[in-house]
């Protein structure tokens, strides 16, 4: 599948799953909130959260396949992108930002903005500004790579 069409299809599936979760369970598809609730929630509330997260992991199987089958891999492999210490540091910073912003990109960017939340709009503007600044620094400012 051509990359722009694959991205469009992926975005459509993300949007459809967010709408389905909201329509069926009345829940917002914010991954950080769903993950946090896996440990705190009880009964049926806990079950749907685990099912959602297991579905995400199953969808990640394509990335794992790309990583293990060199001839099927895209030109830039995740395993070759950055040293492990940078990936770990980036993950910790994302986790910190998620707590600081009271939600993640999926909750604010996909669901919050679709509901017209001003808080989500501001959060997405901050996410995007940080992403643009980081990309600029790494590509043009002698970054960490």
Q: Could you report the per-residue pLDDT of 51-83, keeping only the tens digit for each?
A: 888 888 877 666 666 666 665 555 555 555 667
Q: What is the pLDDT of residues 2-30, one digit of tens each?
A: 567 777 887 888 888 888 988 998 888 88
pTM equals: 0.67
If you average pLDDT over residues 88-94, what whole number do you get? Answer: 84
The percent of residues above 90 in pLDDT, for the chain, comes to 7
The structure tokens 């975005």 sit at 11
Q: What is the pLDDT of residues 104-126, one digit of tens each?
A: 888 888 888 888 889 999 989 98
Residue 129 pLDDT level (bands cut at 50, 70, 90) = very high
77 phi and psi, to 5 degrees? -90, 145
């Amino acid at each position: 599948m051509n990359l722009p069409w694959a991205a469009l299809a992926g975005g459509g599936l993300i949007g459809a799953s967010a709408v389905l979760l909201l329509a069926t369970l009345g829940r917002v598809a914010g991954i950080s909130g769903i993950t946090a609730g896996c440990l705190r929630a009880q009964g049926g509330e806990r079950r749907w959260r685990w099912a959602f997260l297991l579905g995400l992991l199953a969808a990640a199987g394509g990335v794992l396949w790309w990583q293990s089958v060199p001839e099927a891999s895209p030109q830039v492999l995740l395993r070759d992108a950055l040293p492990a210490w940078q990936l770990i540091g980036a993950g910790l910073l994302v986790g910190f930002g998620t707590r600081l912003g009271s939600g993640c990109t999926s909750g604010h960017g996909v669901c919050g903005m679709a509901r017209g939340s001003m808080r989500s709009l501001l959060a997405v503007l901050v996410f995007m500004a940080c992403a643009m600044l980081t990309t600029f620094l790494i590509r043009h400012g002698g970054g960490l790579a």
